[in-house]
Amino acid sequence: MRKFLTALIVIPLGLIMVTFAVANRQFVTVSFDPFVSDDPSFSATMPLFLLLILVAGLGVVAGGCAVWFGQRHWRRAARRHEADARAARGELAEAHAAAARPEAQRLPVPSGTGLYGPIGRDKQRATL
């Protein structure tokens, strides 16, 4: 379906462009020197259809850049929210892993002895 719609748009657009190019083959001189109009130092001679297509393409690129720069705060917010969501997913996975892990069984310590043996001394019998 997508290819059909693309062909439905591209084929007529291509035919219009070819018709436009055939109808506007005369050459025009484009000058970039505003001070000398009779003999400009920097000018280009090209077919009219090429000039119009280049100007339209330049307008599309300039408009795309303007929109891209105008939406930078939305892209930044989306990156920040994606990082927050990724961190939350990691925390959730850790919480699920901790809940699935069985608690280690602790044996009761005999009375009169601490974790290191007799109360107040470690394994080497040093006073704590």
Measured CA distances, 124 to 5, 39, 117, 118 (Å): 84, 102, 9, 11
Q: Tell me if 37 is assigned to some domain.
A: yes
Q: Tell me if 87 is assigned to some domain.
A: no
pLDDT for position 102: 73
pLDDT for position 117: 53
* Mean pLDDT across the chain: 84
Q: Tell me if 30 is assigned to some domain.
A: yes
The per-residue pLDDT for range 76-93, each reduced to its tens digit, is: 999 999 999 999 999 999
Contact 26, 47 (CB under 8 A): yes
Q: Tell me if 108 is assigned to some domain.
A: no
pLDDT for position 109: 58
Which residues make beta-bridge pairs with 6?
A: none
Q: Tell me if 14 is assigned to some domain.
A: yes
pLDDT, mean of residues 37-56: 86
Query: What percent of the chain is modeled with pLDDT above 70?
Result: 80
Q: Tell me if 117 is assigned to some domain.
A: no
Contact 42, 29 (CB under 8 A): no
The number of distinct structural domains making up the chain is 1
pLDDT for position 81: 96
Which band of pLDDT confidence, cut at 50, 70 and 90, is reported for residue 121? low
* Domain encompassing residue 25: 2-56
The per-residue pLDDT for range 98-117, each reduced to its tens digit, is: 888 777 677 665 555 555 55
Q: Tell me if 21 is assigned to some domain.
A: yes
Which band of pLDDT confidence, cut at 50, 70 and 90, is reported for residue 58? very high
pLDDT for position 114: 53
Q: Which of 56, 53, 49, 51 is nearest to 30 (CA)?
A: 51
Q: Which of 24, 14, 84, 74 is nearest to 49 (CA)?
A: 24
* Farthest CA pair distance, the chain: 111
Q: Tell me if 79 is assigned to some domain.
A: no
